[in-house]
């Protein structure tokens, strides 16, 4: 399965009807900060959300108040990261996205994270030895977001 195939998968998910339980509204989520950045895999603190926010939080790519838009943005960023990878097919295999079924499963997990949790949805993609692209939609509430949008 090639990278170009993935872009066609998301509309298929929409047709199947991604269920929005509304849980994110109950949690007080008003919007998501969309962040993408590169980290070195040698940084032991890269898994701490505070470190992630320090690296890219001030440089977020934008915001959205629609979880479907956040999912589309994450998907587009993942596709772009894989295309820029040193070995795209190996990148897909490492991420576990080497078949349409596995790609759909990853999208469904991201959707659940977006709509049912109070935290970041997304993750990192190893694009070469020592380099990872981190892509997140970070759930924000009025209390957690101090930025004017």
Other CB atoms within a 10 A radius of the CB of residue 130 amount to 11
Q: Retrieve residue 26's tokens.
A: 């109950």
- Any idea how long the chain is? 149
Transcribe 32-98 into DSSP letters.
Answer: EEEEEEEEETT-GGGGSHHHHHHHHGGG--EEES-HHHHHHHHHHHHHHHHHHSSSHHHHHHHHT-S
Q: Which residues pair with 128 in a beta bridge?
A: 131
Q: How far is CA 77 from CA 17, 23, 42, 111, 144, in A?
A: 22, 25, 22, 15, 24
Other CB atoms within a 10 A radius of the CB of residue 55 amount to 17
Mean pLDDT value of segment 12-41: 80
Model confidence at 14, pLDDT cuts 50, 70, 90, reads: low
Report CA dihedral (76, 11, 103, 132) to the nearest 10 degrees: 10
Model confidence at 91, pLDDT cuts 50, 70, 90, reads: confident
Average pLDDT for the chain: 79
Integer Rg of the chain from CA? 15
Q: Which residue has the higher pLDDT, 128 or 10?
A: 128
According to the model, what pLDDT value does residue 64 have? Answer: 94
According to the model, what pLDDT value does residue 22 have? Answer: 85
State the Cα–Cα distance between residues 71 and 108, nearest whole angstrom.
10
According to the model, what pLDDT value does residue 86 have? Answer: 85
């Amino acid at each position: 399965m090639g990278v170009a195939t993935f872009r066609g998968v998301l509309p298929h998910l929409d047709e199947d009807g991604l269920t929005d339980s509304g849980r994110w509204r109950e949690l007080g989520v008003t919007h998501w900060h969309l962040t993408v950045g590169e980290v070195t895999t040698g940084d032991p603190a890269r898994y701490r959300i505070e470190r992630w926010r320090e690296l890219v939080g001030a440089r977020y790519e934008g915001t959205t108040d629609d979880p479907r838009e956040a999912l589309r943005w994450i998907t587009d960023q993942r596709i772009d990261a894989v295309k820029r990878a040193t070995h795209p097919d190996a990148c897909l295999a490492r991420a576990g996205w080497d078949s349409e079924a596995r790609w759909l499963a990853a999208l469904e997990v991201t959707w659940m994270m977006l709509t049912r949790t109070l935290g970041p949805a997304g993750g990192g993609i190893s694009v070469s030895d020592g380099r990872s692209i981190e892509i997140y939609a970070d759930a924000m509430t009025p209390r957690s977001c101090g930025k004017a949008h």
